[in-house]
Amino acid sequence: MQRRAVTVYVALLLVVGAAAGGLVATADSPEVSFDDPEFEGGAGDSFEHGGQTYTVADVTETVEEGGHGAETVSLSATVEWEETVEESAEWANDSTVTYEENDWRVVIEGEDPNAVTLRKVLDRQAILENDSAADNETIDRDGEEFVVVTDEDDDATLVPADEYFPTPEERRIEEGETIVYDGHDATVTNVSASAALLEWEATQTMSSELTPQSQVTLGGTNFVAIFPDSETVVLSSDIDSFEAQQAEIDQFEQRMSGLTRVAWIIGATVLMLIAFAFLPSRY
């Protein structure tokens, strides 16, 4: 092959390769953006949708070290909101429950009750220990429980436990009554022979994590999230626009990938032509 011809071919290929490489190097990759998003802000900012207030709790940038000094940067955000949920508790008959910071035994009487009785659980051990005249333990005689009480003359007397210990406090709660239970206004909605049912409403903090191009449903509406920078998140319900822009980005990346392959092929072809040009001729 004549070196002059090779020079011409190489020059033409270099022009084409340079054009392809220049386009790859200078082309700006399109990015998803919205003209009128429902929300754009950072950590601590809020927005309303469907009568509900949503707050961006945080926007986080995470940098992970890779091989050969490479770094992978990922962005995420957390959006939070308050929801009212229904909660309940069941007081089983003859069980022990905590109410007003005390332990109570649940007493339900009758086959068709309309109320529940709470009988305070006495700390009998503490009562005995606080009485210097009484033994710290009760005793059983003929199937009956007694407290041993010693008088000033060191004479011991057996006092029936039912007489010694005070009558426990009782609280009667009617079906349909509202009480303060576990910090909530709870209503006794049903009382049966086996248990009493309490129901109340509570506020619960809900959350959802956002990542670039992820979708989240808030108040029945689908939103897509984008991150213009490491401190800002944008939410838009224009899913059609997002998908159209994403299709354009995919098409752009395919074109850039094709141009990159063209540049590499041209570079390899140029090297081959130069190598062939310097091969010794047999003639």
Q: Tell me the per-residue pLDDT of 114-154, one tens digit each, with 9 for 90 and over.
A: 999 999 999 888 999 898 888 888 889 888 999 999 888 78
Q: Looking at the structure, tell me whether residues 94 and 194 fall in a common domain.
A: yes
Q: Are residues 197 and 248 in the same domain?
A: no
For residues 43-53, average pLDDT: 93
Whether 69 maps to a domain, the answer reads no
258: containing domain: 1-34+239-283
- pLDDT of 113 reads 95
Predicted pLDDT of residue 1: 47
Q: How much is the pLDDT for 77?
A: 95
- Binned at pLDDT 50, 70 and 90, residue 267 comes out as low
Q: Which of 70-79, 122-131, 268-277 is predicted with the least confidence, judged by mean pLDDT?
A: 268-277
Q: What is the pLDDT of residues 6-25, one digit of tens each?
A: 565 545 555 555 554 555 45
- Say whether both 142 and 95 belong to one domain: yes
Neighbours of 188 (CB within 10 A): 21
Is 40 a domain residue?
Answer: no
- The answer on 260 and 157 residing in a single domain is no
Query: Do 56 and 44 contact (CB within 8 A), yes or no?
Result: yes
- 173 in the same domain as 94: yes
Assess if residue 102 is contained within a domain.
Answer: yes
Last-in-domain residue among 204, 219, 249? 204
Q: Are residues 93 and 144 in the same domain?
A: yes
Regarding whether 194 and 92 lie in a shared domain, the answer is: yes
pLDDT band at 98; cut points 50, 70, 90: very high
125 and 193 within one domain: yes
- Tell me, yes or no, whether 23 lies in a domain: yes
Residue 75, in any domain of the structure:
no
The rounded mean pLDDT for the chain is 83
**Does position 87 have pLDDT exceeding 90, yes or no?**
yes
Q: Which of 159, 188, 204 is the last residue of a domain?
A: 204
187 lies in the same domain as 243: no
Is the same domain home to 197 and 112?
yes
* Residue 282 resides in a domain: yes
Q: Tens of pLDDT along 170-205?
A: 999 999 999 999 999 999 999 999 999 999 999 999
pLDDT at 67 over 70: no
pLDDT digits (tens, 9 = 90+) for 207-258: 999 999 899 999 999 999 999 999 999 999 988 888 887 777 667 567 666 6
Kindly state whether residue 51 falls inside one of the protein's structural domains. no
Q: Indicate whether 58 belongs to any domain.
A: no
- Longest Cα pair distance anywhere in the chain, in angstroms? 142
Q: How confident is the model at residue 104 (pLDDT cuts 50, 70, 90)?
A: very high
Domain count of the chain?
A: 2
Per-residue pLDDT at 55: 96
The closest alpha carbon to 33, from 248, 177, 262, 258, belongs to 248
Tell whether 99 and 188 lie within a shared domain: yes
Q: Are residues 198 and 262 in the same domain?
A: no
Which contacts of 127-133 are long-range, i.e. CB under 8 A and separated by 24 or more positions?
Answer: 127/165, 127/166
